[in-house]
Amino acid sequence: METRRVVVTGMGAICPVGNSVPEAWTNIKNGCSGVGWITKFDTSGLSVKYAGEVKQFDPVGRYGAKEARRVDIATLFAWSAAEEALKDSNLTITSTNTYDVGCIIGTCVGGIESLVDSIRTFDVDGQKSVSPFSVPRILIDGSSAKISMEYQLRGPNYSVTSACATGNNAIGDAADLIRLGRAKVMLAGGTEAALVPSVLAGFANMRALSAYDGDDPRKACRPFELNRSGFVAGEGAACLVLEEYEHARSRGAHIYAELVGYGHTSDAYHITAPREDAEGATRAIRMALREAEMQPTQIDYINAHGTGTPLNDKAETLAIKHALGDHAYQVAISSSKSMTGHLLGAAGALEAIVALKAMEENLAPPTINLDTPDPVCDLDYVPHTARPRSINAVMSNSFGFGGHNTALVFKRIANS
């Protein structure tokens, strides 16, 4: 079978540190946190008071009141990221290529805000008051379906969900469809809008959230730090335009990088905790390197999953050591979650974009709040300040509840 190369030709994002890729990247490389006190609802009944909220996003002004009512905020986030990515790719969808372009937008919990609202409405006012749009709004594939209709993407169209590894799986699966010849272009990524009281309460009660109780919420997420206590929840969306290499060249598209490796495994171990020996994560990283036909020494930068939970950061550190050997101590690694919070199903896609921007600018972004490194997390996590370095190949790791382990490898190409 012919091997088709897959490249990235467009990127879009909306997240706690910016409503576009340029804005988000500028803040991330400068170590600016988007974590703050929750403003979306009254937190008096919650132990957690901070999160990574999207700011200054006006869906009614942007898409109109009618559209804003018909879809969940998670879909509106996805729409925003998709719009930017497609514009960035300079791709025009026509009747000629409409079946060549597809869409995979993943999410952990879909339209959870709409689900909560519809349940509340039913309990108070009964069936007659529940919106007929309530079901489409809560569907996991709602974002992917809406985007495919909005831009007439008639190729493969579906959603994936694998907890916090969702974004990586969406990107990796989309690349596989291009390699198989089932599409020439795929819009792929993730979206999440799970900042609702009941979800945060559940995370808090399972002791997954940061227990930081200081007066500056920007310090709450502390990946790889000795005193880390959990993740900070975030929201937003991110999308990549993936394209078959020759197709991209034929239309003169700007190519950011080539996606050369995709690894994914399952721990089959525990619903929330990673394996202590990090075997599954190690194998996912090795699988991505093997598919990329690259040696560990060729990886210059890793955007870590780096949630700030005690078990995850320890296991990821071990996996990187096992997979990269001695080179683990030479590669620059950072967790952008220290600034964005954890975007759950959108995290992998956003962090792939961060890794690609790091390669584009030859700059490893920082891990903020890393004041006292945990001795068991003894790799180079680029504390506090971004660092210039030559970057020709990057890896982005994402791991999720349920034992999902994923890794993506991108490399610079000569004519990019």
Active site residues: 164, 305, 342
Q: What is the C-alpha to C-alpha distance for residues 318 and 322, in angstroms, rounded to an integer?
A: 6
Q: What is the C-alpha to C-alpha distance for residues 230 and 381, in angstroms, rounded to an integer?
A: 17
Name the 3-class secondary structure at 131. coil
Q: Hey, what are 5's tokens?
A: 């190369």
Positive or negative, the CA dihedral 358, 361, 367, 371 is positive
Q: What is the C-alpha to C-alpha distance for residues 366 and 25, in angstroms, rounded to an integer?
A: 11
Q: Hey, what are 250's tokens?
A: 């034929």
Q: What is the C-alpha to C-alpha distance for residues 102 and 79, in angstroms, rounded to an integer?
A: 15
Q: Hey, what are 387's tokens?
A: 């660092």
Q: What is the C-alpha to C-alpha distance for residues 359 and 98, in angstroms, rounded to an integer?
A: 31
Q: What is the C-alpha to C-alpha distance for residues 42 and 379, in angstroms, rounded to an integer?
A: 40
- Spatial contact of 49 and 37, defined as CB atoms under 8 Å apart: yes
